[in-house]
Amino acid sequence: MNNTDPFEVLPIAPLALHGLADSTQAAAEAFIAAGTAANTVRSYRSALAYWAAWLQLRYGRAIGDGALPSDVAVQFIVDHLARPDADGDWSQLLPAQLDAALVAARVKGKLGALAFNTVNHRLAVLAKWHRLNDWDNPCEAPTVKTLLREARKAQARQGVALRKKTAMVLEPLQAMLATCTDGVRGVRDRALLLLAWSGGGRRRSEVTALRVEDLRRLDADTWLYALGATKTDTGGVRREKPLRGPAAQALNAWLAAAPASSGPLFRRLYKGGRVGSASLSGDQVARIVKRRAQLAGLEGDWAAHSLRSGFVTEAGRQGVPLGEVMAMTEHRSVTTVMGYFQAGALLESRASLLFGESPVAETVNEAPPTDVQT
């Protein structure tokens, strides 16, 4: 019997109790990257690239030099959010030459102030960067939170609304679908629009992630499709959602035009209507929505998110219970979904038609009886 201690022959140095080895840190970062949606990764990279350029120009330091103080976050806010001056004009504190340099470096699209949502997102990315590096978060400072809150209120009072994409309710959806008569491209776009809208207001990342293997047909007018990991559900448990009626028929037509037993459900098209093997990207889904809106002659700020917000808004219009809506969309926050849902419900509310439409209004408008003096 061998009594040798097996741990005595392992030529491996023990790890330190505090801190991570480089290989462990790299493995952890790989898990984080793999578990983050591609669109989110791109937005983080874009935000960090902007932070790196702004910090270099404004302070002459690199973003990896260590934790940033809260004063830097304050400076970032006032540099990028427009505010009214004594003459009533709106301006930002960022020097013009630095603004031009950021545009020239291609980290900024155009000269001028940034939207509140953009500034808020870049601060959130900075906060996450600090958390990942185990640094004190400058965005948690009361001065930063107060400034951001008051800046938002100031812009709202001056009529600067937070930009939201136009919600695609039933009528604009029907107008877009009416343009889908251009061969195989129209067949694909019709199926994509109806699945994303009727199937629960799917995000573009969810649409592009769908595969033929995720589909299960119940009958000629009903499909089930399975969602895997999404933005709000990262557990990987597959949840099936129904696709019925015209949406199911549109999917039937697309599968007949582009038959496949596996692979991406919605694929790219090439000249002559040839269907490729690669999946559409999220940006291509957004371009499809914009193109169909343009062909339909629709005004508004259309994007892929219009499908999601439009589904919720239309559900509110048609009186669908909120719980059923959230079961389809998989919203986690009631606050997030309620804005769209309530807006849709109010469109059909009797409270919006009190004047001129109600029985009371009709009675008031009638001529008074002849035996009553007025």
The pLDDT assigned to 34 comes to: 52
Q: Which of 157, 190, 225 is a domain's end point?
A: 157
Q: How many domains does the chain have?
A: 2
Q: Which of 157, 180, 201 is a domain's end point?
A: 157
Same domain, 153 and 174: no
pLDDT over threshold 60, residue 23: no
pLDDT over threshold 60, residue 259: yes
More confident residue, 50 or 229: 50
Q: How far apart are CA 268 and CA 278, in angstroms?
A: 6
Q: How far apart are CA 128 and CA 304, in angstroms?
A: 26
pLDDT over threshold 50, residue 145: yes
Q: Please report, in angstroms and rounded to a whole number, the separation of the first and last CA atoms in the chain.
A: 118
**Which CATH number goes with the domain that contains 310?**
1.10.443.10
Same domain, 194 and 299: yes
The pLDDT assigned to 160 comes to: 54
**Which CATH number goes with the domain that contains 60?**
1.10.150.130
More confident residue, 342 or 239: 239
More confident residue, 372 or 264: 264
Q: How far apart are CA 323 and CA 344, in angstroms?
A: 15
Of the given ranges (20-29, 114-123, 240-249, 363-372), which has the lowest mean pLDDT?
363-372
Same domain, 117 and 144: yes
Identify whether 261 is part of a domain.
Answer: yes
Which of 24-28, 44-48, 322-326 ranks highest by mean pLDDT?
A: 322-326
Label residue 126 by pLDDT band (50, 70, 90): very high
Same domain, 174 and 150: no
Same domain, 54 and 99: yes
Q: Which of 133, 157, 181 is a domain's end point?
A: 157
pLDDT over threshold 80, residue 373: no
Identify whether 19 is part of a domain.
Answer: no
Kindly state the helix (H) or strand (E) to which residue 156 belongs, with its residue range.
helix 142-157
Identify whether 317 is part of a domain.
Answer: yes
Taking only the tens place, the pLDDT of each residue in 88-109 is 566 778 889 999 999 999 999 8
pLDDT over threshold 60, residue 4: no
Identify whether 27 is part of a domain.
Answer: no
The pLDDT assigned to 365 comes to: 46
pLDDT over threshold 90, residue 355: no
Identify whether 12 is part of a domain.
Answer: no
Domain hosting residue 105, numbered range: 36-157
Identify whether 92 is part of a domain.
Answer: yes
**239 within 8 A of 326, measured Cβ to Cβ:** no
Of the given ranges (42-46, 79-83, 101-105), which has the lowest mean pLDDT?
42-46
Same domain, 321 and 298: yes
Label residue 200 by pLDDT band (50, 70, 90): very high
**Residue in the block written with tokens 């499709």:** 225
Same domain, 281 and 177: yes
The pLDDT assigned to 369 comes to: 46
Same domain, 148 and 195: no
pLDDT over threshold 70, residue 277: yes
* Torsion sign over Cα 38, 44, 50, 55: negative
CB atoms within 10 A of CB 183: 12
Same domain, 176 and 303: yes
Same domain, 143 and 194: no
C-alpha gyration radius of the chain:
27
Mean pLDDT of 28-40: 55
Same domain, 105 and 139: yes
Mean pLDDT of 13-24: 49
The pLDDT assigned to 358 comes to: 47
| Letter string b/e over residues 259-275, b meaning 16 or more CB atoms within 10 A of that residue's CB | eeeeebbbbebeeeeeb
Same domain, 255 and 135: no
Distances (CA, A) of 106 to 49, 99, 109, 256, 329: 10, 11, 7, 44, 36
Taking only the tens place, the pLDDT of each residue in 323-351 is 999 999 988 888 778 878 877 777 777 77
Residues 6 or more apart in contact with residue 309 via CB below 8 angstroms: 164, 165, 167, 168, 201, 340
Which of 60-69, 161-170, 196-205 ranks highest by mean pLDDT?
A: 196-205
Identify whether 133 is part of a domain.
Answer: yes
Identify whether 326 is part of a domain.
Answer: yes
